[in-house]
Amino acid sequence: MSLTAVYAKKALVGEELEVLEDACILVEDECIAEVTTRREFEASGRDAAIVRLDGRTVLPGLMECHDHLALDARLPGHLDMMNLSECEHTLLALQGLHDDLMSGVTTARCLGDRNYIDVVLRDQIRQGRVSGPDLLVCGIGMKGCHGHGYVGMPHSGVEEFRRTARENMFHGVDILKIFVTPGAPAASPEEFIPCYISYDEIRTVVEEAKAMNLRTAAHCIGGRGLDYCVRAGVDVIEHVYSITPDQVKLLEEEFDGWIDMTSGIVLDPEREPYCPPAAVKKMRAAREYSRQCINQIYQSKKIRYTIGTDANHGLLYKELEYACEGGASSLEALKGVTVHAARMCGLEKKTGQIAKGMKADLIAVDDNPLEEIRALKNVRFVMKSGKICKAE
Ligand SMILES: [Zn+2]
């Protein structure tokens, strides 16, 4: 057993990310053994290896709630890359995993890949053979055969969805993912939003997941597909770019799942050079309406949400800025990638906060992100499960 004492100017501790000054986090093997102050630790006379993060703020490792491994939104033409070979996908994945980890992501929720590379890489990372965040994976994403989902495979009819759901679970996935609607947002409340999966198909996947105690995630921008997801008991609804005020009310009153926000896809103009011209045109036309729709979630006091990038590796900090611009407090935004993210993933007893017994997933930045969310842009130190992965 080895004891390490991490000293920091401040630490954001516990479920409420409370500021602890002159902090000392004691790490024993993979876990946090104690959260105390430097003064108290030094007075105790105990022996430990010291990690000095003087002047910095330590917080829980970030959880990227919407990732893909074989997709990299930072590359031109990335949406056409789904037909590359398994080997090329793996190389893309390794780069993305590295950049995620170096940016402070210690857990990533991967929402669909090909050839089960996500399952294999999750296991390789856990065995210490590959470096990257701890992963939750969903294997083959299921889409309608006339529908959207670059990373998904086409399905039609309840039995086809059931078969792939079971095949995924046979391979050991953590989540089942379906693609309910188009990817591009609507430009106005009047625009029709197709729904590519029937209520029965959605409900079948939810039932199969529940039978194995797994959770479901649905790509859904809005329209009737969103109503279906709520009624069918989907656990996490992704994106919601085109959600109406009535649907926000529906979520507030009848939905006990989570919304996973990926605002940058629509709001970030810096993503445009990497997308096809037709998609850029549609995105620009829809940007302001989408902003209104998305911000309803950030401003709701009742809807539980988490935050992800959708494969914009290493750039999660940008999503937190959009959340804050949209009306979230920096505390709520930060919870969306730590405490709340862990709860949404069912990992709240293992990670997501700095507390005794949790995995020692820690990062450090120059300033307190509760005062300046942009501080997350430059992550100086990353510890995952007690192991230092980055130290500047
Ligand atoms: Zn996605």
First-residue to last-residue Cα distance in the chain = 26
At residue 81, the pLDDT reads 87
pLDDT band, very low/low/confident/very high, at 125 (cuts 50, 70, 90): very high
User: Of 324, 328, 320, which is closest to residue 301 (Cα–Cα)?
Assistant: 328
Average pLDDT, the chain: 97
Tokens of 333: 């935004």
Distance 47 CA to ligand 1 centre (A): 46
What does the alpha-carbon distance between residue 82 and residue 85 come to, in Å, rounded to a whole number?
Answer: 8
- Judge whether residue 98 has pLDDT over 80: yes
Distance 67 CA to ligand 1 centre (A): 6
Distance 214 CA to ligand 1 centre (A): 19
> Would you state the torsion angle of the CA atoms of residues 253, 257, 263, 264, taken in this order, to the nearest 10 degrees?
180
Distance 149 CA to ligand 1 centre (A): 8
Distance 350 CA to ligand 1 centre (A): 25
Mean pLDDT over 134-142 rounds to 98
- Judge whether residue 1 has pLDDT over 70: no
Q: Is 295 helix (H, G, I), strand (E, B) or coil?
A: helix
Order of all β-strands in the sheet with 258-261? 152-155, 141-144, 175-179, 215-220, 236-239, 258-261, 305-307
Distance 152 CA to ligand 1 centre (A): 10
At residue 104, the pLDDT reads 98
User: Of 215, 130, 226, 120, which is closest to residue 177 (Cα–Cα)?
Assistant: 215
Q: Which domains does the chain have, with CATH numbers?
A: 3-61+352-391 (2.30.40.10), 62-345 (3.20.20.140)
At residue 218, the pLDDT reads 98
In tens, the pLDDT along 56-77 reads 999 999 999 999 999 999 998 8
- Judge whether residue 150 has pLDDT over 80: yes
Distance 312 CA to ligand 1 centre (A): 10
Q: Which pTM does this prediction carry? A: 0.97
State how far the alpha carbon of 53 is from the alpha carbons of 103, 119, 263, 392, in Å.
17, 35, 32, 10
pLDDT band, very low/low/confident/very high, at 295 (cuts 50, 70, 90): very high
Distance 200 CA to ligand 1 centre (A): 23
At residue 2, the pLDDT reads 86
At residue 300, the pLDDT reads 97
Distance 111 CA to ligand 1 centre (A): 6
At residue 149, the pLDDT reads 87
User: Of 345, 343, 347, which is closest to residue 335 (Cα–Cα)?
Assistant: 343
Distance 166 CA to ligand 1 centre (A): 21
